[in-house]
Structure formats: C-alpha cells, structure tokens
Structure 1
C-alpha cells in the first residue's frame, strides 16, 4: 500500500496533507530546503536508522502523516510503523523506525515531530473524554476551534482518540447560532430562511432556553446545540424534545464534569478544548548509536 493509499484509508486527502507538509517544511528549511548543520556533518551517503519513541503514555495519531513528511524530504527514507494510529502506548514505546541518509532524517525531524506530537496530544486528550463517557450513550465531539491550516489533521486526531467530528466547516452543515437568531428576529424565522434557501443541507440550531428548544423542534430542527445549560436544564430539554431531536451539550463543560452532563441523557457533548487546548504528547526521534558515521575527510 502506498503512502497516498494509507492517508486515504485514514480519511485524509493526500493532496491536502501534502500541502500542509510542504508549508511546514518550507517554514523550517526555507525555500531552498537548507539545513547547514546536518549537511556539513553528514554527506548523502552516510546512512543510519532512528526510532520514533514515545516519551510519555498516550494515544497515537499521525503516523501516515509522519511517513509522508519523511518521504517529502527524501524518497530514500524508509519508514516502518510499529504501532497504529489509535493505539495506546506506554512511555518508551517505539512507534516507528526510519532509515536512510542521516542528513535527511534530521532535516525532517522537527516537522515530523511537530505534527505527530500535536496530533497524538489531541488524540490522547480525546481519549480521556471517551473514558469519562464510557458508561453513557454520549459521544464527545470537536468544534471548528482548530489551528488554521491544520483542521483536517486536528479532526483526524479526534477520531483517532475515539471522538467524532461535529462538522468540517461552515460549508457542510448549517448551524443557526445566536447572532443569526437575533438578526433574523427569531429561531423560527432563521430556520425557515435557511430551509428555503438551502433545502439540501442539514440544519442545526443553537438554543439557550427550554422555550427555544421547543420552538426549534416545532420549526423542524432535528439537532439542537444546547449552549451553556446546567445539567438540570438539560434534563428538562431532554424530557421535552429528546424524542424528536438529537441533543448536544456545549459551553464550558470540562472533563471533570463530563459524566454529570452525559447523565442528563444528551446524545453528544462538544468541546473546543480538544483541538485548541490539548497539550502535545512528548515524542522524540532517536538516532541509533553507531548507526551513522560522519565523513572523516
């Protein structure tokens, strides 16, 4: 299976991943792909092997992206994954092995790790939410609060951690939020306007009160985003319209109180923190001792 096939199998568009990788490498290596340190110490014939190693426990995401990044630096690099995306690993675990010209391994190192550490951090954070919700029917969702340019990677990492994606952008789901309601005059007016203009698209409605929830469902909404509601208020909404619409709880919900919100009976909890506040997972590239010998001349 080719790198492109592995990316596609992961639900990642190869051309979009390639664009991200190119921009990241240009940022680190400059337009001429220059690394004076590695190029001075190692000629292109000096080959070696390195291990991609977890420095802490976590959930892995981004190995196909890492492979594609190494390949973008040099086609002479061979990448062998030892684990798979979505796997839980312990500190010290070897995630992958790479071999090839040492100068190219080192030129790719920081870009590979920046992407892999970030994606695995998001996956690890998401996994903790899935653990908190394990005994409930509630699924954890992400939001559009992603790093500009990296949305497809951020959202893939959420999936690798066991969560699900809310929507990819403004383009694929119509979501009526407070500003839309205020400008249109009411929930019903906003819903009717979207439904008339775009009968083909899914419409979701953000509601702040039980009354708005009832109004939205009466207008035809099948998915409600219940914003900043207490668990008690959510129970009222579930009782009133939960048999007619999918319900998502959102707004300042933390990992520590996720189970209490899930216990209300909502179908989903969304958290922007999955992608805007996840700490990275510490991962390193370790050249094997004695695997590479710099030129003596």
Structure 2
C-alpha cells in the first residue's frame, strides 16, 4: 500500500495511492503523519472510500510534512565511508534535521545566494515510524516501522564543515524533497538500487542493503537515547558518489535537477533554484 499527502484546493489530505496519478482520499486526515497517530492507521487507510482524486506530481506534498523528529544518519553506506577516507563506524553517527527543511517530492529547492557555493547531492532511504518506540530491541523494531520513502538530502558543504557539528549544513529551510509517498513495509524489499541523478547523469548507485546499520539496528540505538513517535522519520544515510568527495569536487548548479530513485519506492526530483 502507498500513502501520500496531497495538496487539494489550498489544503492537504492523506490519500491511498491507486496509480501514478490517482488516489482515494482518507477523510478526516490532513496528511499521512496525522493518520499515523491512529493505532489502526493501516486498517483506516485500507478501508478508505473517500473521494477519488486525480493528481499531478506537483500536487504531492512531503509525505509526512511535519514529523516531530527527523533523525539523520551519517556515514552509513560502506562505499561512502571509504570514499570519505574513514573507517567503518562501531555505532551510528546521528544528527538532526528540522521539519522546516522538508519540501514536496517535486518542489523546487530555492537556495540563498550565501549558501550555494558548495551544494551537494545525497540520495537517501527514509524510514517512517508507525508507533511509539522506547528502548526497543532490534528483533522487535520491525513492529514500529510504518514504511519507507525517498529523501533528497541537499547538503551545503561549506556550512556543514564550518564546525565539527554537521547540522547547520543539513537543515536549510525547504531543502529536502521527501516522498513521493509512503510505501508500507510489507510492500518493500531491501536490496534494490538507490540511484541519484544530476540532470541525466547517474552520480550515485548502490543497493539499499549496503547499509552498515539497518533500520532495525537504528531504531534500537536511537530509541535507547530518546523515544521515537508515530510519524517520526529516520533518514538512513547516503551511498558513495557525492560531489564533495570527487577530484575535482563537483557541486550542484543553478537550474540543475537532482533526482533520487529507489527500487520499490519510486522517485523524487527537485530543481535547484539560486536566489
């Protein structure tokens, strides 16, 4: 099952996606994050018989527009760790992205002039939490996963490396496409390709099971620090191929589109617009 947050008549509605451009509205829920607050969210979504909605890709909002928490994982694909000249980590590297960073899966990403000189691409797999997880063991963590989506984690490298803390280069306002929809966990299989394209050039390509720490391990580790709530998002890291690790370095230019595609989840594409 696929669930989306659609923009309709100046508002939004949670919807069950039926095809690439049609969905059924889930009445009473403004977005997927709101739907996930219900214990029986999956049953509600499956039985929804609301208005049929035809939509264009631009009508898709961030699948969970305002998660309570967005926890990102750095250095979590083996090939990316190696290209950055680091050793494989013993524990996950975590940092936070605020909900203000999210945009729809096909929205433009507008970059202020003071932050456009070292703009990099990072295609990522996002995990969406289904119910509260506090000190959960990895063996039980699957019960807390609603499903998966695609994240386009634009990174301002100059801001990122101003200090030892990465957050400031990772959470610029309206800089992260998220979607196109939530694919529930039973309909997604790990091991397919995660690919990122700059315009028509494939710049990242890695199987999703190359993660050092998988979703269950991440939930166990994070939930021992603080609880995860329904609708929270874990962004699991990016594979090798980023522009900053190239020689010479390569960054995103004005007008260039970054597309991220994951087998089984679909794709998102954001055009870069310099202010």
What TM-score comes out, normalization by structure 1 length? 0.25
What TM-score comes out, normalization by structure 2 length? 0.26
Structure having the higher helix fraction is 1
Give the structure with higher Rg (CA). Answer: 1
Structure having the higher strand fraction is 2
